[in-house]
Amino acid sequence: MIEFREIDRNNLFDVIKLGVADGQKEFVATNLFSIAQAKAFPECICLSIYHDDILVGFTMYCIDYEDKEYWISRLMIDEKYQSKGYGKAAMEKLIDRIKEDKKHKVIYIFEPENTWAKHLYEKLGFAADGRVIEGEVVYKLEY
């Protein structure tokens, strides 16, 4: 079962040690970078991803400072635990969590360069909304 946990003194160092494969490093910032970013951008919410009590990944989302809408900014599953369905389950869980906020109706994400991730997001209902911001295609999921 996939579960989100806060990042605190119990797991910070383990979350920082999670990593993606060499060929995937260009697709996602390191968790160290993301956690540092969240310190300065308090709207960013960092969560660690556990599967049956084992730490497998990391995600970060926010209500954007400028457009005040939900954005999923990071998703990574450690190299060792990829292709077991955890990334998909974590995205579904995160979408469900955001959907609980009835004041909002849309979740944004940038089109990933990683084709696995692109396929995953499209399967979950994300589609291009027509905007390109700083060269990146914006995907949205309306709920």
> Exactly one of 5, 16, 27, 45 binds ligand COA (CB under 6 A); which one?
27
The residue behind tokens 């697709």 is 27
Region from 20-28, 35-43, 62-70, 92-100 binding ligand COA, contact rule CB under 6 A = 20-28
Rounded least distance, CB 103 to ligand COA, Å: 25
Answer whether 1's CB lies under 8 Å from 51's CB. yes
Sheet order of strands, 106-110 included: 2-5, 44-51, 54-63, 70-77, 106-110, 136-142, 127-133
d(CA 14, CA 134): 33
Pairing of strands 136-142, 2-5: unpaired
Residue with the closest Cβ to ligand COA? 87
Which residue from 5, 16, 24, 41 is in contact with ligand COA, where contact means CB under 6 A? 24
| Residue 112 engages ligand COA in binding (rule: CB under 6 A) | yes
CA–CA separation, 80 vs 16, rounded Å? 15
With binding defined as CB under 6 A, does residue 75 bind ligand COA? yes
HEC per residue, 1-31 = CEEEECCCCCCHHHHHHCCCCHHHHHHCCCH
Using the contact rule CB under 6 A, the part of the chain among 3-11, 41-49, 83-91, 94-102 near ligand COA is: 83-91
Does position 119 interact with ligand COA (CB under 6 A)? The reply is: yes
The reply to whether 83 sits near ligand COA by the rule CB under 6 A is yes
Which residues sit at the interface with ligand COA, rule CB under 6 A?
A: 20, 24, 27-28, 74-77, 82-88, 112, 114, 116-117, 119-120, 123
